[in-house]
A and B are shown apart, each in its own frame.
Chain A
Amino acid sequence: MSDGLSRRSFLKLAATASAAAAIPGCEPAARKLIPYVVPDEDVIPGVPTFYATTCAECSAGCGIVARVMEGRVIKLEGNPVDPISQGAICARGQAGLQGLYNPDRLGKPNTRRADGALTVIHWDEATKLINGKLAAAAQAGKDRVAFIGVSQGPTLDKITKAWAQAFNSARVGFWEAFSDEPARAAAEACFGRRDLPIYKLDQAETIISFGADFVETWNSPVEYARQFAQFRAPKTRNGSLSIGNAAYVGPRLNSTAAKCDEWVASNPGTEGAVAMSVLNVVVSQGWASNGDAGGLKELVADYDPEKISVQTGVPADQIKRIAGWFGQAKDGAVALAGTTDPQAHLAAMILNAVTGNVGKTMIFLDETPAQPTSRPEEIKAIIEAMRDGQVDILVIAGGNPAYSMPPAYAFREASKRVGYVIWMGEVPDESAELANLLIPTHHALETWRDTNPRTGVYGLGQPVMQPVYPSRALHDILIASAHLGAGAAAQAISYENAADAINTAWQELQGKAGGGATPKQFWDDARRHGGVFQEAKPASVSLNAAALKPTIRPPAAPNGLTLWAFPHIFLYDGRGANKSWLQEIPDPVTQIVWDTWAEMHPETAAKLGLKKDYEQTRLFAGIDVIEIATPGGPIQLTATISPLIKPGVIAVPFGQGHTSYGRYAKGIGVNPFSFLPEGTHSVSVTARKTDKKYKLVTPLGNSDMLGRTIIEAMTVSDLANGVEPDFGEEKIDRPYEMYEPFVYAGHKWGMTIDVNSCTGCSACIAACYAENNVQVVGKENVDLGRIMSWIRVERYIRPADKPNDGPLIQIAPMLCQQCDHAPCEPVCPVFASHHTEEGINAQIYNRCIGTRFCENNCPYKVRRFNWYAPEFVEPLNYQLNPDVTVRGAGVMEKCTFCIQRITTAEINARTEDRKLLDGEIIPACAQACPSRAITFGDINDPNSAMIKRRTDNKGRIYTMLPEFNALPAITYLRDLYQEKGKA
Chain B
Amino acid sequence: MSGLISSAGSKSGVIGQTEIDYEEGTWTPVFAAAGGANMGATVQGHYTKIGNTVFYSCIIEITSTVSGYGAVNLGGWPFTAITVTNNPARSRIAYKSSDGTLQGYHSLEGQVSGTNMRVSYWNQASGALNATSTRFPNGTVLYISGQYLA
Interaction A to B: no
Give A contacts to B, CB under 8 Å.
none
